Amino acid sequence: MAGMIKVNAEICKGCGLCIDACPQEILAIGDQANARGYFPVKAVQPEKCAGCSFCALICPDMALEIYRREEEQVR
């Protein structure tokens, strides 16, 4: 997997915009409620993540951080 989504579960309101925006259907509503009673999203197919950041771009609450693996140095 080239990319990774880090969810801030306390900030996420489970609005679902990221789920809709992700071209790989990586995200889904989790089953654990956060302190505010929302059900934050979870990466259910994390291995498919390429780090495109679509989910983070559409997130209204900045609940997602996106990471990408550094390209291997070609020896």
Q: b/e for 47-71, b at 16 or more Cβ within 10 A?
A: eebeebbbbbeebeeebbebeeeee
Q: Decide if residue 25 touches other proteins (CB under 8 A).
A: no
Residue 47 or 67 with smaller CB distance to other proteins: 67
Q: How far is the CB of 37 from other proteins (least distance, A)?
A: 11
Q: Where are the alpha helices (DSSP H) in 1-75?
A: 17-21, 54-58
Q: Decide if residue 56 touches other proteins (CB under 8 A).
A: yes
Applying CB under 8 A, among 31, 32, 70, 74 the residue interacting with other proteins is: 70
Residues that bind other proteins (CB under 8 A): 3-4, 10-11, 13-17, 19-21, 38, 51, 53-54, 56-62, 64-70
